[in-house]
């Protein structure tokens, strides 16, 4: 297509310079009728004549010969996919870019902004769905409203309610109304706190947007391309680790190992001679859309400070620190390099299978403890992950997300009160 | 004969209200606020219907449903699951586990009375 439209670009270039056909033709030493045929793409052009025309029009010969920036063209093609009416005009895309480069760049910029906003909205919506506080508060509110509705219907729907029962229902009603307003206040405070935290947490938000936009899987990195140029050092480190493990163990290798080992991280680590925390990273960066089980991952330092997080709807992870102290990841630090496999049951009844390990990372120095990294990989209960192990024999730990939003009020590990209790 | 209903729900005011309206309709209502050990109790004296909350403080309603369906004597016991989580995945999980009916909170008294009568009739 580019070759056939060289003429169009020459015509646009000539008009932009204010030359007539005969003036330009005479300048480069060809006839006006021949230039006319070239401009209407009826004659091919290359070599000296093209070079002369490029020089006369003060345009780089490459731009004239190859047309517009391919990235711009590709981006506009992507934008056109969302608008059926424009699809039929795709053949004229290069002409559009050639004739109206400013408008074309504006369309690209607007499309970039639309996509960025759309990604942001998706990320926010996912965040809301995963928010354990929101989920718990909604559950309480709906239960509360059910009790209220039923009680009001009893009191207003009939006259055969005995006095003592009516008195009790009136008291229940009062209690429920107060409770409902308390939950509403807690919700409001929660969202206000979250808004402030999002506003002040600029270092973690771009990372999450980056990974969520790719569903934690990057085809280019998997294909051996160098990691994208990002400004955040934390994201750069995560990308380097991802790139390293993707080179060590490809996604297709995991697929090949699956019939024998399932997705057992320890078996994969042994088979591929890869460190277990790196296998955790590998499994967390697999395309769930292609049939791989979905894995969540949390990596933190010994103080519990979160360094990497890939949350799943079954278990939300803290942004900075302060997860449930019963999670096996925190226990892993007691015996570095000793992996722990355990099932965790959430207050909602949802169960996840977890693998945790602690390992030393970084240089060793005199009189300074080495840096220890803790990793926890987890996945919704799924027999295909560990096909060679009887899951019912794995320890089952009753846990929560964070104390303040955990309804297990009798938990001995509790450090904060349940705010909806 | 009076139909017996087992109501498993952790919200005490819902228990009180539902017990009142269902008893008034002539049902015999037994109530539980937790799920541990429930299946054994159901085995000892199977009711005509179990009204089961999806989210309980000790074990989930879904786990109880799985245990009920894994118990030979309770395989066909009608179970009405109540949930404040109306999400499709919860409904799918309950349907896969063999729930008879599913009801999303909040509901009206008339709705739960109608469904209870219908399910006890079919029993």
Q: Do A150 and B17 touch (CB under 8 A)?
A: yes
Chain B residues in contact with A160 by the CB 8 A cut-off are: 24
Q: Do B24 and A151 touch (CB under 8 A)?
A: no
Split at pLDDT 50, 70, 90, the class of B73 is very high
A381/chain B closest Cα distance in angstroms:
13
Q: Do B106 and A348 touch (CB under 8 A)?
A: no
| A155 touching chain B per CB within 8 A | no
Q: What is the pLDDT of residue A378?
A: 96
A contact test, residue of B106, B107, B114 with most A CBs within 10 A: B106
Write down the mean pLDDT value for chain A: 83
Q: At residue A68, does pLDDT exceed 80?
A: no
Q: Do B14 and A143 touch (CB under 8 A)?
A: yes
Split at pLDDT 50, 70, 90, the class of A372 is very high
> Which of B61, B62, B107 has the CB atom closest to A146's CB atom?
B107
Q: Do A150 and B61 touch (CB under 8 A)?
A: no
B115/chain A closest Cα distance in angstroms:
15
Q: What is the pLDDT of residue A197?
A: 53
| B26 touching chain A per CB within 8 A | no
> Which of A135, A350, A407 has the CB atom closest to B57's CB atom?
A407
| A314 touching chain B per CB within 8 A | no
Q: What does the alpha-carbon distance between residue A331 and residue A418 come to, in Å, rounded to a whole number?
A: 23
**Mean pLDDT across A158-175:** 87
Task: Classify residue A378 as exposed, middle or buried by CB count within 10 Å of its CB (0-12, 13-18, 19+).
Answer: buried
Write down the mean pLDDT value for chain B: 90
| B65 touching chain A per CB within 8 A | no
Q: What is the pLDDT of residues A228-271, one digit of tens each?
A: 888 888 889 999 999 999 999 999 999 999 999 999 999 999 99
A contact test, residue of B12, B16, B17 with most A CBs within 10 A: B17
Q: What is the pLDDT of residues A291-334, one digit of tens each?
A: 899 999 999 998 888 899 998 877 878 777 778 999 999 999 99
B11/chain A closest Cα distance in angstroms:
7
Q: Do B60 and A144 touch (CB under 8 A)?
A: no
Q: What is the pLDDT of residues A199-236, one digit of tens each?
A: 444 444 557 778 888 889 998 899 888 888 888 888 89
The answer to which of A128-132, A152-156, A320-324 has the lowest mean pLDDT is A128-132
**Mean pLDDT across B95-100:** 92
Split at pLDDT 50, 70, 90, the class of B30 is very high
**Mean pLDDT across B8-26:** 94
Q: What is the pLDDT of residue A202?
A: 40
């Amino acid at each position: 297509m580019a070759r056939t439209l060289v003429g169009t670009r020459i015509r646009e270039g000539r008009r932009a310079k204010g030359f007539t056909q005969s003036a330009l033709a005479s300048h480069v030493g060809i006839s006006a009728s021949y230039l006319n045929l070239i401009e209407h793409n009826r004659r091919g052009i290359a070599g000296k004549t093209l070079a002369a025309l490029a020089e006369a029009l003060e345009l780089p010969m490459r731009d004239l010969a190859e047309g517009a920036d391919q990235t711009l063209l590709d981006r506009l093609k992507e934008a056109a996919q969302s608008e059926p009416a424009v699809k039929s005009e795709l053949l004229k895309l290069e002409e559009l870019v050639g004739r109206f480069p400013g408008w074309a760049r504006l369309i690209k910029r607007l499309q970039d902004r639309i996509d960025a906003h759309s990604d942001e909205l998706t990320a926010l919506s996912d965040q809301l769905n995963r928010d354990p506080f929101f989920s718990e508060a909604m559950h309480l509110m709906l239960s509360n409203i059910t009790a209220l509705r039923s009680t009001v219907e009893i009191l207003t729907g009939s006259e055969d309610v005995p006095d003592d029962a009516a008195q009790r229902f009136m008291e229940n009603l009062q209690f429920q109304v107060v409770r409902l307003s308390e939950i509403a206040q807690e919700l409001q405070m929660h969202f206000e706190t979250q808004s402030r935290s999002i506003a002040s947490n600029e270092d973690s938000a771009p990372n999450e947007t980056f990974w969520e936009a790719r569903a934690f899987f990057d085809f280019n990195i998997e294909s051996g391309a160098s990691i994208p140029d990002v400004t955040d050092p934390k994201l750069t480190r995560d990308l380097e680790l991802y790139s390293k493990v993707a080179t060590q163990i490809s996604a297709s290798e995991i697929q090949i190992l699956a019939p024998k080992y399932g997705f057992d991280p320890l078996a994969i680590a042994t088979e591929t001679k890869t460190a277990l925390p790196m296998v955790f990273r590998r499994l967390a960066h697999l395309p769930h859309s292609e049939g791989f089980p979905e894995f969540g991952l949390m990596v933190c330092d010994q103080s519990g400070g979160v360094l990497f997080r890939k949350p799943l709807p079954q278990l939300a992870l803290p942004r900075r620190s302060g997860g449930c102290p019963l999670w096996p990841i925190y226990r892993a630090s007691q015996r570095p390099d000793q992996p722990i496999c355990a099932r965790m049951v959430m207050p909602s009844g949802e169960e996840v299978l977890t693998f945790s390990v602690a390992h030393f990372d970084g240089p060793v120095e005199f009189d300074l403890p080495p840096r220890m990294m803790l990793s926890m990989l987890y996945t919704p209960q799924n027999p295909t992950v560990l096909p060679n192990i009887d899951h019912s024999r794995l320890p089952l730990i009753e846990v929560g997300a964070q104390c303040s939003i955990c309804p297990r009020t009798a938990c001995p590990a509790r450090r904060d009160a349940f705010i909806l209790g | 004969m009076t139909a017996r209903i087992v109501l498993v729900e952790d919200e005490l005011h819902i228990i009180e209200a539902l017990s009142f309206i269902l008893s008034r309709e002539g049902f015999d209502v037994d109530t539980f606020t937790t799920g541990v050990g429930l299946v054994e109790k159901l085995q000892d004296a199977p009711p005509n219907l179990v009204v089961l909350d999806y989210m309980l403080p000790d074990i989930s309603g879904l786990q109880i449903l799985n245990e009920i369906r894994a118990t030979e004597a309770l395989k066909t016991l009608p179970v009405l699951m109540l949930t404040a989580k109306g999400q499709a995945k919860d409904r799918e999980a309950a349907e896969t586990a063999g729930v008879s009916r599913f009801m999303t909170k909040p509901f009206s008294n008339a709705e739960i009375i109608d469904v209870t009568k219908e399910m006890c009739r079919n029993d």
